[in-house]
Amino acid sequence: MNYNLLETSIEYLKGVGPQRGDLLKQELSIFKYGDLLHLYPNRYIDRTKYYKINELFNNHTEVQIVGKVIHIKVVEQKRGKRLVATFTDGTGEIELVWFQGIKWIKDSLKLNTPYVIFGKTNRFNQGISMPHPELELLEEHKKNISSAMQAVYPSTEKLSAKISNKSMIKLMQQLIMETHALFTDSLSQDLLKTLGLISIKEALIQIHFPKNAEILAKAQFRLKFEELFYIQMQLLIKNIARKGKIKGFPFNEVGSYFNSFYKNHLPFPLTNAQKKVIKEIRQDVGAPAQMNRLLQGDVGSGKTIVAFMSCLLALDNNFQACMVAPTEILATQHFLGISELGKAMNINIKLLTGSTKTAERKIIHEELENGSLQILIGTHAVFEDKVKFKNIGLAIIDEQHRFGVEQRSKLWKKNHIPPHVLVMTATPIPRTLAMSLYGDLDISVIDELPPGRKPIQTMHFFERKRLTVWHFIRKEIAKGRQVYIVYPLIEESESLDYKNLMEGYEGISRDFPLPQYSVSIVHGKMTPAEKDREMERFSKGETNLMVATTVIEVGVNVPNASVMIIESAERFGLSQLHQLRGRVGRGAEQSYCILMTRDKLSNDSKIRMETMCRTNDGFEISEVDLKLRGPGDIMGTQQSGTLPLKIADLVKDQDILHYARHQAIQLLKKDPALELPEHQRIKNKLALLNKKATIWNYIS
């Protein structure tokens, strides 16, 4: 493809000009010829069928008719005028009606000349009318790039007022005429032949002007494959390059810390999934390249012990380890959990957060620099420049999507050679999304829960059944159990949410009165000290019920809490509901999650409630979430960027993605540096993509 021509500014395309050019830039981010060429249609209208007027009484929505205009008149109305033309095809007559552009249309209409009209029909009095039809002289219609299926392009309200879909089609015709012979393939001939793909030239013409549904499907497959193939190539090459370029500290020793813990201090036997992941990590850190691994594990699957044993590998090789969590609550929980695991082994472990006192900070800074502090656990405070390590060998990032890229890179720079990196998440990521967002990381999954954990029973109740739920809670409290009651917190309506929370708290305090019951409350307007005090009361069993906002989504571990009630559950996303549910089920007793909603639910809300009641599998839940919300919403646009896909869809095109990744892996196995002559096109296209700042260049 002649990329120089496709870099031409869009206003230079015949039919665009400065005003239309500005509109296309503002509304659809179309700045150059290439941007317009890759604006793919949303849908297609079948233009193969020509209707007769006497067939229209069944009221078809969009129809195409060949005929002549035999009469024109301007009709005065209360407000302005309308232009009415009588159109016939010999089998009957319909009225064509315009309310705008009357003078120009009246002057341009030719009587008794064959036209093709297209539009939506309305029943009007005893006849049929077609408001604002598309009109084309039959002679011109035959000459244009023939397309059996008419493309309908993405638009906006502002854009469609100035550039209609018909105009967009004409611009696309003009663009293809100007660039027609210059579409050259970026995929190798070998790949095109092996996979039976049509050429890029044919794919681009047929995606905009398809002759039939069969050739359209081939064009769509070709363009989707190419888009996903190059994303996978970028990610895989980045992974290969990192392993080749970024030298790591090889942890050659599996020594006394690791072995002593494994033989003498394991609190419970590891699951097979945990053993598999530890083996993968040991292989990575034993190599002379930097480890860059994503560890996915559902809520309660035992990621913390895997993280701790990874830290022990660093200690065995005389390196320090660091673990960073996004919130103080979560960092503190990790600190308590890891301190408990390491208490019999005399390991120096400390916690650094925004609340750490100055005197304690000073000790931490000194011990880090002299190497006596072996494991540091903390929040964003760890990223500060004054936090210096003697020799950090392993950095563990928990819930990494909550950190910015710059923050994470600060940790890498705290040593002359970047430490091994283990990224953890308890938010299961659909395999498709993980493959695209984290395709340059090696991925480990803990997909089984520790033995003895009973699956949480999830139930959905409408508001009218509240008394039944309250009765159930009283029975659980009588057994000595504790209960969470969580209210939504959505920042835009913080004051309203706060009001709902306080009203809920007051109602619960009335329904569960002292001295028989005691209620804790935690919300965002409290100071960290107040939150900690309330959390501690609940952890110690001094209160029976904890009323809270989603601050408890991560980082609270009370094994005796066996009931999670989620108020207004329809206001939560699936992954958040799943995270909240994971706060219970941590002890040996049967735990319950109760979803409370209003009586009328949207279809998506019904699917979310049904999914939560049906399964505890976070990966299955994440797949449903991906289908409901799409990839951009799931990952959050702030940290990961929405995937800049032009035509492929990660939900609908999972098979093509797997296929594209497989082909990319095979090609790189055969020719890792893309040195063979047949791969030069691919190499050139990748060089071009790397010049553009895409999210693929900085994901992890």
- CATH number, residue 528: 3.40.50.300
pLDDT above 70 for 58 = no
Name the residue with higher pLDDT: 255 or 180: 255
pLDDT at residue number 280: 95
pLDDT at residue number 643: 58
pLDDT above 50 for 638 = no
pLDDT at residue number 556: 62
| 579 and 674 inside one domain | no
Query: Which residue, of 121, 146, 171, is where some domain finishes?
Result: 146
Identify the weakest region by mean pLDDT among 106-115, 149-158, 410-419, 599-608: 410-419
Quickly tell me which residue has 């209210």 as its tokens: 487
CA separation (Å) from 265 to 317, 329, 695? 20, 26, 43
pLDDT above 80 for 490 = no
| 230 and 360 inside one domain | no
Check if the beta carbon of residue 437 is closer than 8 Å to that of residue 429. yes
Name the residue with higher pLDDT: 47 or 606: 606
Tell me, yes or no, whether 533 lies in a domain: yes
User: Percent of the chain, pLDDT > 90?
Assistant: 47
| 299 and 433 inside one domain | yes
Question: In which band, very low, low, confident or very high, does the pLDDT at 403 lie, cut at 50, 70 and 90?
Answer: low
| 365 and 467 inside one domain | no
pLDDT at residue number 83: 92
The whole-angstrom separation of Cα 395 and Cα 565 is 36
**Mean pLDDT score, 502-526:** 90
Check if the beta carbon of residue 63 is closer than 8 Å to that of residue 55. no
Nearest to 119 by CA among 129, 111, 109, 107: 129
If phi > 0 it is left, if psi is from -120 to 50 it is alpha, else beta; for residue 291 that is beta
Tokens standing for residue 455: 């699956």
pLDDT at residue number 432: 64
pLDDT at residue number 220: 95
pLDDT above 80 for 552 = no
Tell me, yes or no, whether 97 lies in a domain: yes
pLDDT at residue number 636: 43
pLDDT at residue number 259: 95
The whole domain housing 675 covers 219-245+647-697
For the ranges 172-186, 265-279, 390-404, 644-658, the one whose mean pLDDT is highest: 265-279
For the ranges 91-105, 181-195, 356-370, 638-652, the one whose mean pLDDT is highest: 356-370
pLDDT at residue number 641: 38
> Residue 646 phi/psi, 5° resolution?
-90, -35
Tell me, yes or no, whether 262 lies in a domain: yes
The whole-angstrom separation of Cα 12 and Cα 8 is 7
pLDDT at residue number 76: 87
Query: Which residues touch 635 (CB under 8 Å, ≥6 apart)?
Result: 401, 433, 437, 642
Tell me, yes or no, whether 200 lies in a domain: no
pLDDT above 80 for 648 = yes
The whole-angstrom separation of Cα 407 and Cα 419 is 15
pLDDT above 90 for 97 = yes
| 408 and 468 inside one domain | no
pLDDT at residue number 640: 39
| 434 and 526 inside one domain | no
Which one-letter DSSP state was computed for residue 653? T
| 551 and 572 inside one domain | yes
Query: Which residues touch 479 (CB under 8 Å, ≥6 apart)?
Result: none
Tell me, yes or no, whether 665 lies in a domain: yes
**Cβ atoms within 10 A of the Cβ of 109, count?**
16
pLDDT above 80 for 430 = no
Which one-letter DSSP state was computed for residue 261? I
| 286 and 434 inside one domain | yes
pLDDT at residue number 437: 63
pLDDT at residue number 699: 39
**Mean pLDDT score, 19-23:** 93
pLDDT at residue number 438: 65
pLDDT above 90 for 595 = yes
Asked whether the CA dihedral 279, 285, 288, 293 is positive or negative, the reply is positive
pLDDT at residue number 631: 58
Q: Is 406 exposed, middle or buried (0-12, 13-18, 19+ CB in 10 A)?
A: exposed
Name the residue with higher pLDDT: 595 or 450: 595
Q: Is 584 exposed, middle or buried (0-12, 13-18, 19+ CB in 10 A)?
A: buried
Name the residue with higher pLDDT: 248 or 689: 689
The whole-angstrom separation of Cα 395 and Cα 459 is 39
Looking at the DSSP bridge assignments, the partners of residue 95 are 86, 129
The whole-angstrom separation of Cα 134 and Cα 72 is 17
| 281 and 383 inside one domain | yes
Identify the weakest region by mean pLDDT among 26-35, 123-132, 138-147, 449-458: 138-147
Query: Which residue, of 423, 446, 469, is where some domain finishes?
Result: 446
Check if the beta carbon of residue 17 is closer than 8 Å to that of residue 37. no
Tell me, yes or no, whether 503 lies in a domain: yes
pLDDT above 70 for 146 = no
| 353 and 498 inside one domain | no
Nearest to 353 by CA among 373, 323, 311, 394: 323
Query: Which residue, of 563, 595, 615, is where some domain finishes?
Result: 615
**Mean pLDDT score, 120-146:** 82
Output the DSSP codes for 302-318.
Answer: -HHHHHHHHHHHHHHTT
Which one-letter DSSP state was computed for residue 675? -
Counting every residue written for the chain, the total comes to: 700
User: Percent of the chain, pLDDT > 70?
Assistant: 89
Check if the beta carbon of residue 67 is closer than 8 Å to that of residue 128. no
| Chain mean pLDDT for the chain | 85
Identify the weakest region by mean pLDDT among 414-428, 634-648, 665-679: 634-648
pLDDT in tens, 260-283: 999 999 988 999 999 999 999 999
Buried b / exposed e across 65-80, counting CB within 10 Å, b at 16+?
A: bebbbeeeeeeeeeee
> Terminus-to-terminus CA distance in the chain, angstroms?
31
CB-facing half-sphere around the CA of 538: CA atoms within 13 A: 25
pLDDT above 60 for 402 = no
Tell me, yes or no, whether 637 lies in a domain: no
| 472 and 438 inside one domain | no
Domain count, the chain: 4
| 542 and 656 inside one domain | no
Tell me, yes or no, whether 170 lies in a domain: no
